[in-house]
A and B are shown apart, each in its own frame.
Chain A
């Protein structure tokens, strides 16, 4: 598939009058504290299905915290407290009968630094399906191939599936991590600055991949790179000091920001 078609698709998805959007995530009055530090303040955001939502902002603005709240990974920090709610497909993810493990099988995540397991490439991809009870070797083989193809890395690694995932380059490792997330067929993929540790060519590959994945998944991507947000996202949220300053169509944010601070940030005046 060529990039031009993709770009057209992006344009059409971004037009507001294109039918009713289904929200996957609805964030309502979300507050979050690390101990005494108030890191997220009254966040209200709706994130739609089959869109790429970019979250931008200077470091320390809470964008990473927010994306990690969406799959409750933020709770690994012992002193975290939250209030408000986040509805994922109309269920509050903080409610006591919602197990984090169940949430996280629906919501995949890709991290800043590639973090493949110290296992073979094959076992990395098969890990998720295996913990969900798939043992049949033939089915696993199919899932591995499908996921690696989905992450556009099948051709590069198909002959070395049994090699350790750390034997390939950082950019390839990151796509292995994306494939690993795809293997459990999630609904949403969270990406926390997925290209910050990659070289420009690998970054481009991941960006192209995000465009393709949008067909089947809802993607939320945190990035410190504004050009990246402009290139790949349909909607953009600008975070500053734990607050959402502006949330709109990406084109609107970058061409005609309504808030002065947004304008300052995207024009590079701070951050």
Chain B
């Protein structure tokens, strides 16, 4: 007589390793999921330990309050972080000036004016723009934007803050545009209709209804984009230069925190030298900046979210 399906099932159920498997799998998956946590811990521990080593050689006060960054000096090395921070902020400022108006204007166009067809074309283009490697943007800044700027303003040096700033701005436009567009699109259609039915123009709907309602999402998108700009490396390494300066000049060569780390990594600062540890101290500073930005973005979008 043939065994019935139910009997076969009963036999196979008896196998112990199957039950064991069912119990082990969540454990294994939990271990895998904790890799991301371990990564964060790894980043923090690495940065903290190596930075502490750095501070056994350079005083914390010199690092935090110094306004001269001269790590390669033969006579007196100076590790005052401010010139690197200023360099980073110069680029970020230019990037924000470029990207915030264009990004938000594009988001308004896409969410309030554009037809479905236009949206279907433009959104993938923005995705492509967001997917272009930063090395490509860096090359574009160095070989196209800088010469273009120089032909208009001859006083601009070959390495400067404006050119990489503009290109970092172009790089973060898609981020602001698509995140802001998401925030605006999530404002319910009926609310827009309510405003249109009162005789509002589309601009009035966008400016007085949608943008205020989506404001928390828009601000969060800007903060996240600023965080990206601060951490951006290749564009500033190629087009920003490697002379950290503590001044307000945008036309002259600068160095950002990220570009300094690249500069040291490219050369052969031997393991164990002060310069080697300095990249961790700089990296830690950078990490804190971007982390604060990310937390701020999360706070803004949660705290000020509109209910509708």
Contact = CB atoms under 8 A, between A and B. Distances in A.
Q: Do chains A and B touch in the complex (CB under 8 A)?
A: yes
A104 B197 contact: yes
B198 A128 contact: yes
A132 B201 CA distance: 11
Contacts of B7: none
A10 to B, nearest CB: 27
Nearest to B198: A128
Contacts, number: 71
Contacts of B188: 115
B308 A111 contact: no
Interface-central residue, B199, B200, B204, by most chain A CB under 10 Å:
B199
Contact of A180 (B190, B196, B198, B213): B198
Contacts of B213: 117-118
A181 B200 CA distance: 12
Contacts of B115: 78
A164 B115 CA distance: 32
Interface residues of B, number: 23
A42 B213 CA distance: 41
Contact of B199 (A117, A118, A184): A184
Interface in B165-211: 187-188, 190-191, 193-201, 204, 208-209
Given A117-B213, A118-B307, A118-B308, A102 B191 contact: no
Nearest to A104: B199
B116 interface: yes
A268 B202 CA distance: 42
B212 interface: yes
Interface-central residue, B193, B196, B209, by most chain A CB under 10 Å:
B196
A115 B204 contact: no
A117 B209 contact: yes
A127 B208 contact: yes
Nearest to B307: A166
Interface in A142-172: 164, 166
A101 B203 CA distance: 12
A166 B307 CA distance: 7
B193 A181 contact: no
Contact of B200 (A113, A118, A131, A164): A131
Interface string A100-144: 111111001101010111110000000110111000000000000
B190 A101 contact: no
A22 interface: no
A108 B116 contact: no
B306 interface: yes
B191 A131 contact: no
Contacts of B197: 71, 73, 104, 108-109, 111
A102 to B, nearest CB: 7
19 contacts: A73-B197, A103-B199, A104-B196, A109-B198, A115-B190, A117-B209, A117-B213, A118-B191, A118-B213, A118-B307, A118-B308, A127-B195, A128-B198, A131-B198, A132-B199, A166-B307, A177-B194, A180-B198, A184-B198
5 shortest interchain CB distances as A-B pairs:
A105-B199, A104-B199, A109-B197, A115-B190, A115-B194
Interface of B: 115-116, 187-188, 190-191, 193-201, 204, 208-209, 212-213, 306-308
